[in-house]
Amino acid sequence: MSIGVWVLGDQLWRQQAALQSCPEPVPVILIESHDWVKQRRYHAQKLVLVWSAMRHFAQELEAAGWPVTYAIAPDFATPLRQWIEAHHIHELRIMQPSDRPFRHLIATLDLPCTIKFLPNNHFLWSEADFQQWAAGRKTLVLEYFYRAGRQRFQILMDGKSPVGGKWNYDAENRQPPPTHLKPPSPLRFSADQITKDVIKTVTQGNFATYGHIEPFYWGVTRAQALQVLTHFIEYRLPQFGPYQDAMVVGEETLWHSLLSPYLNLGLLHPQEVIDAALAAYAERQLPLNSVEGFIRQILGWREYMYGLYHYLGADYCQQNFFQHTQPVPAFFWWSDRTQMNCLHHVLSQIERTGYAHHIQRLMILANFALIAGLSPQAVENWFHSVFIDAYDWVMQTNVLGMGLFADGGRLASKPYAASANYIQRMSNYCQGCAYDPKQRVGDRACPFNFFYWHFLARHREVLSHQGRMSVILKNLDKLSATETAAIQQQVQRWYAENL
């Protein structure tokens, strides 16, 4: 009789809690379940990334002396039972899954052994820590959580005060892109034989995938993830801050870190990422606005999303504050079916890479879905399907809460709805577009414009109770009755042609 460890596909870290709980190597199993990935139409590169990273991690454990079983099967239960019986496992140790559906899956498995969960140590705040912070608060504001994290972990602090005298430097980090930007090229990797074998598995398998499977440039090992971190700190972090909200045709990554896939797989730990940024700040006197802006995404936003996901409960995924029900348009899956330049560029980029940065996700994709009245659940499913860094805990709060305001303001202080004016200011997507970003109605009217005003008009009553919306809603009174009616007709015509 012995102890065994099941390493899940997003827990690929030697110091993860279940492995760390064993003073010496014990039997370990990793499982590729083909049925599990058929739940949705995942990006082909997401499957390659996860499975290749799992296979590489299994090799790493084996080299370190762990008896590893790597199973490829339709389900999880069958290889688990066979492995438990073969190794006489009496206690199966699992680090607590990040995602609620996987916790439910494990609860339904009928296994011939005891299951022991170890607290998930891939985050800085445990679920209990977050619940303690949130208890008794009327609102769960990111800024206050972020400040609590800075103080708790003594990050960028001068005693009890923030370094530089300010908690965040958002005002310096929202610059529109200048005409000539020269961001560094992202670090890319060539596929090794393991990755090539996975690409073949995905290509030849019975999987309804999305996007292009090649070229595949993502790292698949901890060593490669560390290279990406080093490359970001050296070449991208110094200029990360000012243009982190900018969007430019042909510049898919700008100064963004590209670390989220590796953090969410467990190949990197948030503490070591923050430590690397702090070390560079101290040693190279990097701009504080860039360093703080990056750390806020890790220590603030990422931890906040994870904490909220578990704090808000299982019914959060059903929230639909505005009662939006329109389906996701076909061009979300096939980018060549839209003439909107901004959407075409972002969607085609996702098809090629599985990646888009946070403003492309929030102010192009989610913004359009919000003002066009798309179903929050359908949109969240799409986000979860197409992004290489997507997991249940990532997408529910980000998409439903931040992007679509489907929770009625439990997360965001106002809906992030914007017209084409924002896109024109923060990008060059409007140049050469079939639509005019200045027009609200007519053949060349930008859909972001007529949907934006239609959204404000049809939800005016509920939006009037959102304090930050009052000034914006007053602009509705400047529209004539004729233009309001024309906007309504334009919206209905768009639905008829695109849905």
Contact between 76 and 33 under an 8 Å Cβ cutoff? The reply is yes
Pairing of strands 68-73, 157-158: unpaired
Two tokens at 485?
């009616």
Indicate the SS3 state at residue 180.
coil
**Percent of the chain at pLDDT exceeding 90:** 94
- d(C-alpha 49, C-alpha 51), whole Å: 6
- What are the C-alpha distances in Å from 402 to residues 185, 246, 413, 415? 30, 19, 9, 8
Domains of the chain, with CATH numbers? 2-118 (3.40.50.620), 127-188+214-312 (1.25.40.80), 318-498 (1.10.579.10)
| pLDDT top residue among 376 and 313 | 376
CA atoms within 13 A on the CB side of 493: 12
**What number of other Cβ atoms are within 10 A of residue 496's Cβ?**
8
Which residues are within 8 A (CB) of 346 and not within 5 positions of it... i.e. 6 or more apart?
A: 247, 356, 360, 364, 365
- Per-residue confidence band for 181, with pLDDT thresholds at 50, 70 and 90: confident
Which of 121-146 are b and which e, b meaning 16 or more Cβ less than 10 Å from the residue's Cβ?
bbbbbbbebbeebeeeeeebebeebb
Cis, peptide link before residue 215, omega less than 30° from 0: yes
pLDDT in tens, 257-271: 999 999 999 999 999
For 472, half-sphere exposure in the C-beta direction (CA atoms, 13 angstrom radius) is 21
Q: State the amino acid at position 354 in one-letter form.
A: G
**Tens of pLDDT along 26-85?**
999 999 999 999 999 999 999 999 999 999 999 999 999 999 999 999 999 999 999 999
pLDDT at 1 over 90: no
Amino acid at 268: L
Percent of the chain with pLDDT over 70: 100
CA end-to-end distance (rounded Å), the chain: 58
pLDDT digits (tens, 9 = 90+) for 417-467: 999 999 999 999 999 999 999 999 999 999 999 999 999 999 999 999 886
Amino acid 195: pLDDT: 98
Task: Provide the mean pLDDT of the chain.
Answer: 96
pLDDT digits (tens, 9 = 90+) for 337-391: 999 999 999 999 999 999 999 999 999 999 999 999 999 999 999 999 999 999 9
Q: Across 107-254, where does the E strand assignment appear? A: 114-118, 157-158, 161-162
Measured in residues, the chain has a length of 499
Q: How far apart are CA 222 and CA 237, in angstroms?
A: 20
The bridge status of strand 89-95 relative to strand 161-162 is: unpaired
491 contacts 474 by C-beta, under 8 angstroms: no
